[in-house]
Structure 1
């Protein structure tokens, strides 16, 4: 089970990274297109009329629906990165008060918070699933691209399901570590 969860968490992060790279490229191209469009419109009446008219005539402009795709893609990417953070214990922590604790009580404290985090992630995944079903039923679409809203929810639910599996596994592993003293998960 350990290797399966490790592989799933890594693949989820890779897919999330690819989505973020595509969003960065999309946003960059959209900004360049918008600025070239502004330049063309300003030059169509100004000092470089022919270049300005050419830019306007070619229809260079920002990419339609960039905001919608960014909103959906970033939501997915957040859930796609949860599993790898969870598996490698790389969530941000503040251990001012716990750094001086003995090893056993610290292990139980880590296990407790791992169980709490797992419960929260599972809860969020279930709420996302219910939201997806609601949008699937009502047929709502995005404003510009007109793609169904539930698609974005479905992608996030898939990533949240992997995050939930990883979180439950990590909670179990931390409990075993606290009880036995042997390490199962890599230290962050």
Structure 2
């Protein structure tokens, strides 16, 4: 089975969105595997060799940032966020669609401006040469990654809202 056929069979998204989801989930999976290996090596070294892996905390923090922000666009496109629908039975379907689009617009706008601020902080961090405490790794690149993935999530959030409005919510 080719990779393309496997993605078509296992992803409900179509076209380039399925490939994007696959790529981002691959990044998350590799990162999670790396975190598992790092934790095992650290625990083994700590208890059996009396020597922990240097910088484990820093690498774990960076790995979690990569993992979370790689999955955020995928979860957003799939509509996997927590939704409270207590009042949906009392409202008409048109109002629910409008509120859904309004919430998608509000969330994507918030994420966009949050990403702008995060990117400014990343630029400042790179200009100042800020590095992690033990491994001396530049912090700005991870912060830039967070900003870029927040922009991607904002774009997918608004497109998901429009997609749901036009194609999934037909009564």
| TM-score in terms of structure 2 length | 0.80
Unaligned segments of structure 1, at least 5 residues: 39-60
Of the candidates 79, 94, 103, which is equivalent to residue 69 of structure 2?
Answer: 79
Shift of 1:69: 1.0
| TM-score in terms of structure 1 length | 0.73
Comparing both chains, which one has the higher relative contact order based on Cα–Cα distances under 8 Å and sequence gaps of 6 or more?
A: 1
Of the candidates 16, 26, 29, which is equivalent to residue 17 of structure 1?
Answer: 29
Aligned to 2:143: 153
Counterpart CA distance in 1 for 2:52 and 2:156 is 39
Segment drifting more, 125-134 vs 148-157: 148-157
| Matches for 1:1-188 after TM superposition, within 5 Å | 3-38=15-50, 61-174=51-164, 177=165, 182-183=167-168
Kept in 1, the 8 Å contact 2:100–2:161? The answer is: no
Counterpart CA distance in 1 for 2:130 and 2:34 is 25
Structure 1 residues 28 and 101: CA distance shift in structure 2, 3 A: farther
Could you say what the CA RMSD is over the residues aligned between the two structures, in angstroms? 2.1
Counterpart CA distance in 1 for 2:15 and 2:113 is 25
Kept in 2, the 8 Å contact 1:9–1:162? The answer is: no
Per-residue CA shift, 1:22-73, capped at 9, x if unaligned? 11221221122111134xxxxxxxxxxxxxxxxxxxxxx2111111111112
Kept in 1, the 8 Å contact 2:101–2:161? The answer is: yes
Shift of 1:171: 3.3
Structure (1 or 2) with the larger CA radius of gyration: 1
Kept in 1, the 8 Å contact 2:107–2:154? The answer is: no
Unaligned segments of structure 2, at least 5 residues: 1-13
Structure 1 residues 33 and 99: CA distance shift in structure 2, 3 A: farther
Local SS of the residue matching 1:63:
coil
Counterpart CA distance in 2 for 1:99 and 1:77 is 36
